[in-house]
Structure 1
């Protein structure tokens, strides 16, 4: 259990660190979010495919032979994984790693709203509280309490909200596939498919940036540490401490992104930024605790 808690926390911290690496590349290498998404997915997908081939070869073979499930995987890879990675990294390019990460964490509240619409019911009192907190947190983060102006760019806000919507798709679309084949074959093959799609769709191979050694290291850190290693550690955590506790520990991601951005890139934050962070992230804990109590 202790190992599960530790590795889950480290996985979340690695996700936050990868966001800051992305911010570094946007600032110093003027790299595009589409190219970074392509490389992140291909690097991570390649590493995870090797692990999958070693540990889950039969499941991978079964998946490839099932045309219907393979089609569903393509939908997840493009509409879930690639869309989520691209919108998140684009949000970072227009704001910063910490703000983009927190805005992405609006997705649990969006899932509540989608569930209420799907079930044709009004939200429960605790769900109403989370919707209010998430809305208020987004308002504080975007405006710092001033109705007449935005504290972050409109592009940063919109891409951050799109990243939250994409995270909903990323969360919902692979559920049945993961039950059938396990998480590793789905994510590893999904990463490869999504990376290839992004590379072809945006012709990333025609816009290869000239990176110095620090840029190459940041790129590798995003793919290896911030994606492949982070996913592996988080997956182990889910298997040992459960999805609910793991989802709460995953909230360390924006904390890690904020700390790395502050000390490495000297990103400045105000009290109202932290207030917005707190209001949005509180919804993750409230919803997780409510789900744990219900179970």
Structure 2
């Protein structure tokens, strides 16, 4: 049951994440929303909402309890800045300077980075299943987002740099959260991380630096979706999935995000969907089925235990 819950959480979170990226692109291009402002406001609103859910639905003592020891407070600050804020900003910046498709494709280099990291730390060995899963994930993302044409990746150098940094940030975000989640609920960790990241960004771009009267009702609805579904629920579900899935599995299953982004583009923006993109869809679904049918739960639990013991912050 825990594994099924983890699969549901990471897939649902990835879908909201993907759609949120598409909606954010519309806000950038159609309504000229500033990237710094959007990152700031979504974190400062979503973070307190998560802590509110924790206060009324779970153990409220954890909200302040996480700050009582340097062994958790310092890692939480690092996670908020180098994990949460880094993932948010780099991804949005890549969208702003390029498009959601290229940004998502580059971000999903993260599973490969995680595998390399685990192998270098001798916490995992490269298996045939890993090779198949990596191949399906990368091929799926490539064909989904390019329709088989390299020329469609012709974006600015800034978009590529921010996209690669987004992949690095997502890998760090996935791995670094594990030891914190061993001690505190995901709502507490994600909520505070958002507040930390949002406060840091507010020093660069204040949340009130926007002409609110110039925005239409449609723009406000898009903002609400990006903040609530594309940020709060997406990140919460993704982090919560790490309670029952390994970081590598959560990262792979999160690759459904580009599928959600492409389908949103097809049915919402009415853009064409080529045969190579359908092939990419099949690759992503095949990858998800491969992971979902994995019965080697004992091996997974052992790997998780090793990761939790070795990823400690002094």
When the two structures are superposed, what TM-score results if normalisation uses the length of structure 2?
0.75
Whether contact under 8 Å (1:13, 1:256) holds in the other structure is yes
Whether contact under 8 Å (2:238, 2:250) holds in the other structure is yes
1:166-225: CA deviation from partner (whole Å, max 9, x where unpaired): 11111111211110112111111111111111121x324474254222212211111112
Change (3 A) 1:275 1:36: farther
The partner residue of 2:259 within 247, 255, 259 is 255
Match in the other structure for 1:229: 233
Deviation at 1:261, TM superposition (A): 2.0
1:103-146: CA deviation from partner (whole Å, max 9, x where unpaired): 42331222001112222987333334445555656666787656
Query: What does residue range 34-183 of structure 1 map to in structure 2 within 5 Å?
Result: 34-54=36-56, 55-119=58-122, 123-132=126-135, 149=151, 151-154=153-156, 155-183=158-186
Whether contact under 8 Å (1:78, 1:194) holds in the other structure is yes
Deviation at 1:160, TM superposition (A): 2.7
Match in the other structure for 2:223: 219
The 3-state SS of whatever aligns with 1:26 is helix
Whether contact under 8 Å (2:140, 2:281) holds in the other structure is yes
Change (3 A) 1:235 1:87: closer
Change (3 A) 1:248 1:129: closer
Alpha-carbon distance between aligned partners in 2 of 1:69 and 1:173, rounded to the nearest angstrom? 12
Alpha-carbon distance between aligned partners in 2 of 1:212 and 1:181, rounded to the nearest angstrom? 40
Change (3 A) 1:94 1:279: farther
The 3-state SS of whatever aligns with 2:218 is helix
Change (3 A) 1:261 1:68: same
Alpha-carbon distance between aligned partners in 2 of 1:107 and 1:282, rounded to the nearest angstrom? 19
Alpha-carbon distance between aligned partners in 1 of 2:219 and 2:230, rounded to the nearest angstrom? 15
Deviation at 1:11, TM superposition (A): 3.9
Deviation at 1:76, TM superposition (A): 0.1
Moved more, 85-94 or 260-269: 260-269
The 3-state SS of whatever aligns with 1:181 is coil
Whether contact under 8 Å (1:251, 1:281) holds in the other structure is no
Alpha-carbon distance between aligned partners in 1 of 2:237 and 2:141, rounded to the nearest angstrom? 30
Whether contact under 8 Å (1:53, 1:60) holds in the other structure is yes
Is 1:199–2:197 an aligned residue pair?
A: no
Whether contact under 8 Å (1:143, 1:151) holds in the other structure is yes
Structure 2: which 5+ residue stretches go unaligned? 301-314
The 3-state SS of whatever aligns with 2:81 is helix
Whether contact under 8 Å (1:141, 1:276) holds in the other structure is yes
Change (3 A) 1:10 1:72: closer
Higher helix share: 1
Structure 1: which 5+ residue stretches go unaligned? none
Moved more, 64-73 or 187-196: 64-73
Is 1:243–2:241 an aligned residue pair?
A: no
Whether contact under 8 Å (2:80, 2:197) holds in the other structure is yes
Change (3 A) 1:132 1:51: closer
